[in-house]
Amino acid sequence: MLRMIPAKLDLTGLKCPLPALMTAKALKKLAPGQLLEVHCTDPLSVIDIPSLVHKTGGQVEITERTEQRIIFVIEKANGSIEEANAAADDNA
């Protein structure tokens, strides 16, 4: 089976909350199952981006983490961020 080539998002130099916000915007444009590769330099992105992805049921992996950059590969789930937030509100 061929591995899908991910869409790429370069967020180098951006600070919190922009990496998470721009990742969410990019994920909205993808179909379920599509991959997104995100390049960041903000150390807080290792908390913010996985949290965002897990809210939708997606998968995220940090494929590189150095002092200079962090690279995530994200697989979009079937749900949307809005659906995840609505479900959380219903359960509250």
Residue in 33, 34, 47, 36 with CA at minimum distance from that of residue 10:
36
Q: Which of 7, 16, 21, 81 is catalytic?
A: 16
Q: Is 16 a catalytic residue?
A: yes
* Residues with active-site annotation: 16
